[in-house]
Structure 1
Amino acid sequence: MRSLDTTRILRRGGLALALAGALAASPAVAQGQAAGGAPAAFTTADLARLCGPAADNANAMALRPACFAALVTIGQTHSLYTTGPRAQRPIFCLPDPTPALDRVAADFVSWAAANQQHSGARAAEGVLRFAAATYPCPAAPAARRR
């Protein structure tokens, strides 16, 4: 897998602020606090738990919107930086038709379980790694030589 330019995209995009706002009401995130009351890092494993809570979890229905908000926020931020006149090279390319959020969430949970080496990474990085592996972009045509 190619080296992800996610750090640069995320720093410039302010995704952390948008993601924090979208997830602030989530019970799972609200309970996660580091020493001194500072919010804990929101990781790939945390997002996978939001997207795939156990069926017997009483909060399962309440967690779905937080999962979807995170996935949509990360996807739309990626889109902002990969379209237009100053576009960056995309990390992933969604198929047409675009998969349903339920399917993306379920696939992300499966990917996170199979790629636990990324469980401690920031959630946005995990989603971008998942998307790059699941929805790779077609190879760019080779430049013509004169």
Structure 2
Amino acid sequence: MLSTTLTRMLRRGTVAIALAGAIVTTPALAQGQAAGGAPASFTTADLARLCGPAADNANAMALRPACFAALVTVGQTHALYTSGQHAQRPVFCLPAQTPTLDQVAAEFVSWAAANQQYSGARAAEGVLRFAATTYPCAAAPAARRRR
């Protein structure tokens, strides 16, 4: 059921994917371009590298905003589709004490390292899978049967 919800959100959340994909065109990521100058697919592994660059990486501070932009874009798109009159069932639910972007980025990097089977998945899918695992929603109470 989670994968159906993820698929539905990804189809409807093309804006988030487009925005996250636009990050690939930044100069720091230009190295990942495919032949012909077209941007390569922006994957979960790519986002994990943005969110957790090596300490000796001279671009570490420049990459941080791109990481945050991708995480916020997916999170805000999720919020748009899970609120309002035609709301979808949320994939994840943030705790009352909302984590900082630094905390989310660090947790995402750890999750991506532990779940490398998703490294080739689109970055938005990886973020949603990470968030569903890290910030699960409380189970809805079972509906009462009518007698």
- TM-score in terms of structure 2 length: 0.92
Deviant stretches of 4+, over 6 Å = none
Answer whether contact 1:90 1:137 (CA < 8 A) is retained: yes
User: How far 1:23 sits from its partner (Å)?
Assistant: 4.8
2-side partners of 1:134 and 1:52: how far apart?
A: 17
- Listed as ranges, the matches of 1:5-16 within 5 Å are 5-13=5-13, 14-16=15-17
AA partner of residue 7 (structure 2): T
- 2:101 aligned partner: 101
Change (3 A) 1:66 1:109: same
Answer whether contact 1:93 1:137 (CA < 8 A) is retained: yes
AA partner of residue 138 (structure 2): P
Change (3 A) 1:2 1:8: closer
1-side partners of 2:23 and 2:39: how far apart?
A: 14
- 1:17 aligned partner: 18
Answer whether contact 1:23 1:70 (CA < 8 A) is retained: no
User: How far 1:126 sits from its partner (Å)?
Assistant: 0.4
Structure 2: gaps (5+ residues): none
**Cα offsets for 1:89-129 (capped at 9, x unmatched):** 00000001110000000000000000000000000000000
Structure 1: gaps (5+ residues): none
2-side partners of 1:93 and 1:110: how far apart?
A: 19
Overall identity of the aligned pairs, in %: 76
AA partner of residue 20 (structure 1): G
Change (3 A) 1:4 1:131: farther
User: How far 1:25 sits from its partner (Å)?
Assistant: 2.1
Change (3 A) 1:35 1:124: same
- TM-score in terms of structure 1 length: 0.93
Count of paired positions: 145
- 1:27 aligned partner: 28
